[in-house]
Structure 1
């Protein structure tokens, strides 16, 4: 719109206001309209740090059955999967270690101070709306200090439906699959009033996990069956969303997870027996309050209480009485606030403060019950001028801990820890009219020793220093315009170098092992992603994406016998591919993951060499509009179509070909 057009409109409005006095003008309040849109990979090309996103609908459409399986398809992500439905699954990014990767659930970080890593296998995929993995912090300046303090963030955002007052949606269904898998599920969304909405998600899953595999011993091959891989788990989650008259927002969540599972253990020749079992309970309640203060300030306040309990049992003649029981209880009280200030359109600043209190109570003989207070303060600045976007932050960490109960061993608490960690990231638009960007980043982070590192049995070491990491990265991002039937093409290429010093490792000392700051790691690599959507004809379209990682991660510990060796479970080449073909009748989803050769131990010898593999899955689904009141969704998924036998962790064989059939019925009032 030019100056002449603006002037004409202004004069016309002035004439209307003059002709009709204010008292005679009638106003009519129209009904609020909420506009929603899916966030896709295309938006991530504008970020100053590498970010990958995938919607929950796309994940489910390709037949992926868990959050862990979805994360495996992201460039730079390394998921350790111990096999079976109930096996533990942890994620690390660019070989920095699982303890350096934060897991965020609806904007609030999940914690495990005892072990320092989160089992992402316990999160349900049914209600996931968006899954995002960011190297460095995520997008936006209103994050918590925990996000800024992490080397990478895996963010899980649950779905939040758009409903009118009095409307509801009720979804119920069941999934039945191989190896005794039965998974009923229930979801309920209700718009209680103009300002309040409530949701409930619940599911139950059980499986015996007794899948077959081939055991190879030289030239001899035998058919075996996985034992002690059963699981029985419950998940219930409730959410309450409320909007206040001043346009502030409150989101409250209560989450409960309980499971009993067998720990299948390693598969070695002549010994496929495992009697280890694990009981887990995890409860947390969290609240997130956001408010806009005037035209230039924002406030976000988070609070969370977490209680975790687990019981480990192992039956073995080596224990007194033939059985071992270990019980652990963790409690965390966490509060966080972020205040943002934007004095001008091109500048954003924020200060975030987090305080957490963690307590561990354990029955492990000789291990104390530690208590830790942690304070994180982040100062953030983001500037956008012309083609340049720059973001920098400084995180100050302070941690102090004490022992609440004495032990039979002489254990002293470590000194208070203080650390300053800066980071800087830049993005520059190379072409004024095209979405082609160059970005670079440098980020310093560290992770505190876990309670297990410090105190577990006799191997703990209270003199441990924090493990330090420095990330360097640079890359190109591009998003195309619409080209005929091709709606978009998006591509990213990011090179990186990561240095880890004071790495915490278990090291032999006299007759026992001790946790020490001994290790150094240097990792370098290249992450590539590509995505596109093509409208083939009316009612037919194709969405496809791919990711590839080339990496070299080596032990640089001086005087180490494995100096300059590739780190265990680090393939030099890995990648994934997924596609969804939409038709008026059915939708077909395909996904695959692949890893190249790698080693199970730090010694890079043929004895520990693990073969490369590529695993394929296919899913067919159909949405039926039965009436104005309900829909019916049918889906059939075949995982590991070629029945490929492979291992992610040595001696933990992954399942072969499996089937899963899902039926979902959705009832609704006034469906949009």
Structure 2
């Protein structure tokens, strides 16, 4: 059974489990983020599997840009990158690794290109707020990096090697073994690129753009008994980014980062009670070099110790009580930032009640209180419902209050940190209409959001910048997706097309936020015949303001980019393929002055055994 089929199998059984109150089966797949299974019952989630991720193998930014509703602004290929989710900023997007929030304690966000791309079994993108479950920063949406462990699959392995334009080398090795009680998986990835592309029409050379990263993942699970399973998942990631410069004699800088993540879980399952106890450790180390070959200019180390318990009880077959408790101890130490040794304790208690009145109608109500040391945290809540009116129409809706508490930089940076900051809060609602006709599925999701007490860094009369609670943002828009899937004999065709409208306004100035395009359209087409696969991707990005006054002089004007690829699998084990990125040879940028590559290529080969 393939990874995708395994996931569908588990998901189907989980839905039956929620309605009839049966024990969650663990015979096929162990999923570390068990809350994501529940979220899919009430929220729209875009799921990308390993083969989807391979289509945009340069970095995570490329995957999200072409295959999700997220807008990605990137300072040139492989450089600093951040998301804009439903008209918000990077600080309002939560990155979640196997159910654990991994946003930086210093920045309060995740740099997309400093997060590993390979080593996951699924990448999932959830639109809308999720702070009741996933904590601080889950305001605009959340991006989930998930690992799974299968049982009774024997030995499997993959070796993948790729060469691309700009002296880019990408190598991946993955192996797994499992029987009825034990499962083990390990993977390693190495990616390096000189990244020395040119855009002659703009007199742009991506000087000093080299980047490198390496990832190692290991996971194991053991079923002690029919009801008890212990599991462990860890990741080590190392990255080096050289920041592009505009002149040959410019000052060459670079950034290095090392992250460690480790998660230990004990799961107990019986007919009407289940419990998942997790203990996690995450560490981030980063160094900035103002002169590439000199000593580091600044940096920091952050360490997080996390304990999380997720308890489920079926009061009656139609009523599910879910209690989630979490405690974190966050530690940080800066270098040349004025941040000494700082720490804080963060706790939370959440209760969710799910009621399934019938297979067609269900509701979820959630409440949560966070306890952040020396921060007055708001009371959070959420409500979601789903109504399957008939075979061709389904309605889901949600309403929630979400938040983000200040980061270490916001509080302690010298000069400019502000110990009196309040958490950002948001109120949001959305509604998804799903219509199915023949092999077509159309989803239309209007949404509204208001963010209060947004934390911004502003200039002061004393000559330095400081953090303040100032901005109020109102965001509304539309996310839509059309899907078509057809299989006939040896032919398979899949089409996904999405349109996004995002109006995000600073209520003080009544202007659109920077780097929030009003319009975004993306499409992905996959065709498969026997041993041959072909795909194409298209992306249209509308007018994007790069200044706070909506100046069209400095705006990024609309552009269209298209990618394509083809592969052939021989003897069911050997795959060779070719990718062509930016077929249209479009001149475009996602951040002002930092142009992206024109047409470029890559070839690859894989062995499955």
Q: TM-score w.r.t. structure 2 length?
A: 0.89
Instruction: Identify the residue that residue 245 of structure 1 maps to in structure 2.
Output: 225
- What does residue 70 of structure 1 align with? 63
User: Which whole-Å CA distance do the structure 1 matches of 2:414 and 2:169 have between them?
Assistant: 39
Is the Cα–Cα contact under 8 Å of residues 639 and 657 in structure 1 kept in the other structure? yes
SS of the equivalent of 1:83 reads: coil
SS of corresponding position for 2:553: helix
Contact 1:280 1:309 in 2 (8 A): yes
Distance 1:570 1:476, change over 3 A: same
CA distance in 1, matches of 2:469, 2:384: 29
Alignment-derived partner of residue 13 in structure 1: none
1:92-127 per-residue CA deviation (whole Å, 9 max, x = no partner) reads 421233223222223333231111111233444444
Residues 1:187 and 1:663: Cα distance change in structure 2 (over 3 Å)? same
State the shift of 1:647 in Å. Answer: 0.8
Q: Report deviation, 1:658.
A: 1.3
Q: CA deviation at 1:530?
A: 1.0
Shift in CA distance, 34/315, structure 1 to aligned 2, threshold 3 Å: closer
1:331 to 2:317 alignment: no
Q: How does 1:131-210 map to 2 (within 5 A)?
A: 131-136=123-128, 145-146=133-134, 150-151=138-139, 152-158=141-147, 160-161=149-150, 163-164=152-153, 167-191=154-178, 193-210=179-196
Return the offset for 1:64: 5.2
**Partner residue of 1:418?**
377
- Please say if 1:443 is aligned against 2:377: no
C-alpha distance in structure 2 between counterparts of 1:177 and 1:528, whole Å: 33
Describe the superposition over 1:98-157 as per-residue Cα deviations: whole angstroms up to 9, x where unpaired.
22322222333323111111123344444433222123467xxxx984359833221122
Residue 397 in structure 1 maps to residue 340 in structure 2? no
Q: C-alpha distance in 2, partners of 1:442/1:528?
A: 19
Within 5 Å, give how 1:112-511 maps onto structure 2.
112-136=104-128, 145-146=133-134, 150-151=138-139, 152-158=141-147, 160-161=149-150, 163-164=152-153, 167-191=154-178, 193-214=179-200, 216=202, 222=203, 224-264=204-244, 267=246, 273-293=250-270, 295-315=271-291, 325-386=297-358, 387-400=360-373, 415-431=374-390, 434-480=391-437, 483=438, 488-510=439-461, 511=463
Per the TM alignment, residue 466 of structure 1 is displaced from its structure 2 partner at its CA by 0.7
Q: CA deviation at 1:594?
A: 1.8
Bigger Rg over Cα: 1
SS in 2 for 1:599: coil
Q: Does the 8 Å CA contact 1:75/1:528 hold for their aligned counterparts?
A: no
Contact 2:531 2:570 in 1 (8 A): no
Aligned to 1:104: 96
What's 1:57 paired with? 51
Counterpart of 1:539 in structure 2 is 490
Q: Distance between the aligned counterparts of 1:75 and 1:125, measured in 2?
A: 15
Alignment-derived partner of residue 83 in structure 1? 76
Counterparts of 1:376 and 1:44 in 2: how far apart (Å)? 19
Distance, in Å, in 2 between the alignment partners of 1:58 and 1:327 is 35
Q: What is the Cα deviation at residue 242 of structure 1?
A: 1.3
Structure-1 separation of matches of 2:99 and 2:527: 32
Q: Can you list the C-alpha shifts for 1:347-384, whole angstroms capped at 9, x where unaligned?
A: 11111011111111111253333211111211101111
Pairing 1:590–2:562 present: no
Paired positions, count: 576
Alpha-carbon distance in 2 for matches of 1:174, 1:108: 30
> Which residue, out of 505, 509, 513, partners 1:567?
513
Shift of 1:440: 2.0
Give the Cα–Cα distance (whole angstroms) in 2 for the partners of residues 306 and 661 of structure 1.
35
CA change 1:346–1:336 in 2 (3 A) is same
Q: Does 1:642 align with 2:601?
A: no
- In the TM superposition, residue 271 of structure 1 has moved relative to its aligned partner by 7.6
Q: How far did residue 70 of structure 1 move?
A: 2.2
Q: Secondary structure at the match of 2:377?
A: strand
